Amino acid sequence: MLTYPCRCGATLFFENVRCLACGRDCGWCDACRRVVAVEPTDNGAWRCAGQGCGATLAFCKNRTQYDACNALVDSPGSFCRSCQATTLAPNLDDPELLGRWRAMETAKRRLLYGLDTLGIGWEASNPPLTFRFPADTADEHHTTGHQDGVVTINLKEADSVERERARQRFGEPHRTLIGHLRHEASHWLWQVFVQGQREGEFGFVFGDHNRPPYAEAMPRYYEQGPPDDWQERHISRYAASHPWEDFAETAAFYLDMRAVLETVAHQFGYHPPAGDDAGALLATYQQLGVGLNEVNRALGLTDALPEVVSKRVADKVAWVHELLSQNTPAWPNGAGTGRAPAPAAGPSRRGAAGPGR
């Protein structure tokens, strides 16, 4: 993730709504794709103070009503692109649910930023990518998962205590909000990029998703766990459950990698030494992982990059890279520069929704 300069020279971060140095209001401007300071105009609107932009803007409705977004929009009282993509929110009169929903929306904005950076047209694809963030009640439980472009994340995942319990129970080092969103969005990527178009190639790399059927594979996984040699062929334990989940876990890992490499390139000028091919990206990411993991261990934290990438996994990552990079600007100059056209759309249903992580 990039950082941005305020007019006063201080650093603005992706979630900032105000510059902590000079007090200027700020937010994400879609016109110049930056977090910018804004200046009030004579007619009550705001003007982007980003270099060379000057767009007339207003605050996203979810910012003015719930302090839950930092995006800037074209007209007052409207929702930003990210907030429009949420089709179900919890009872926002409940302070606890409001706080969890804010955390979920923040993570979702990071996901969508990453998809935009890769040139993936999540709004115009068939189906478009949308989100539901329901909360359980005494009478109803909501399952985290994806179906037909709709990503559902149970709001209890925004409860850090509940999420840590599940992380320990399922052995998932990266059970985070952004991790959930990248995983479930990767099921959507399969539907848009693979289904009905490249399923033969997919089967060669990840296995036949019809043998065994998903409905048989998942109960077996939860009863028996992964095979002992899962690390030789999969990026995670859960990836060993079924080829669809293998793809989702691998694609989510790829999205993690791209986000980390963009951040390191921007903050430290550390770029992949051999261009934009998957091998160079992976080699740089693994090299960084050694240092980042040692930093976390020095602080008593879990490893920042815990995945082990075998040769089989590297081949899968390379396939995902080729699949998703067809609309991607070249590394690193294209990162964060704009949105590319939507990818070719696949059929409107994948056939079965994964239960998520």
What is the Cα–Cα distance from 139 to 142, expressed in whole angstroms? 10
d(CA 354, CA 238): 12
- As separate numbers, helices (DSSP H) first and strands (DSSP E) second, the chain gives 10, 11
Q: How many CB atoms lie within 10 A of CB 103?
A: 18
What's the pLDDT score for residue 336? 34
User: Residue 146's pLDDT is what?
Assistant: 96
**Higher pLDDT pick, 46 / 162:** 46
Cα gap 180→183, rounded to integer Å = 5
For the ranges 7-21, 96-110, 265-279, the lowest mean pLDDT is seen at 265-279
Residue keyed to tokens 């399969």: 190
- pLDDT in the model for residue 272: 64
Structure tokens at 90: 């919890």
Nearest Cα to Cα of residue 292 among 276, 315, 270, 318: 270
Beta-strand runs (E) in 111-184: 130-132, 145-147, 150-152
pLDDT over threshold 60, residue 334: no
- Quote the pLDDT of residue 269: 78
- Contact between residue 60 and residue 105 where contact means Cβ atoms under 8 Å apart: no
Half-sphere exposure of 13 (CA within 13 A, CB side): 6
Mean pLDDT score, 322-344: 48
By mean pLDDT, which of 101-115, 263-277, 282-296 is the weakest? Answer: 263-277
pLDDT mean across residues, the chain: 86
Could you tell me if 157 and 108 are in contact, meaning their C-beta atoms sit under 8 angstroms apart? Answer: no
pLDDT at 353 over 50: no
Higher pLDDT pick, 307 / 254: 254
More confident position, 347 or 18: 18
Name the pLDDT band for 129 (thresholds 50, 70, 90). Answer: very high
Helix axes 177-193, 243-268, angle to 10 degrees: 120
Statement: residue 276 has pLDDT above 90: no
What percentage of the chain has pLDDT greater than the value 90? 61
Per-residue pLDDT, 274: 54
Percent of the chain scored above 70 by pLDDT? 89
Element (H, E) at 299: none
Instruction: Please report the pLDDT score of residue 161 as a whole number.
Output: 75
Distance CA 299, CA 2 (A): 24
Distances in Å between the Cα of 41 and the Cα atoms of 47, 58, 302, 321 are 7, 11, 47, 44
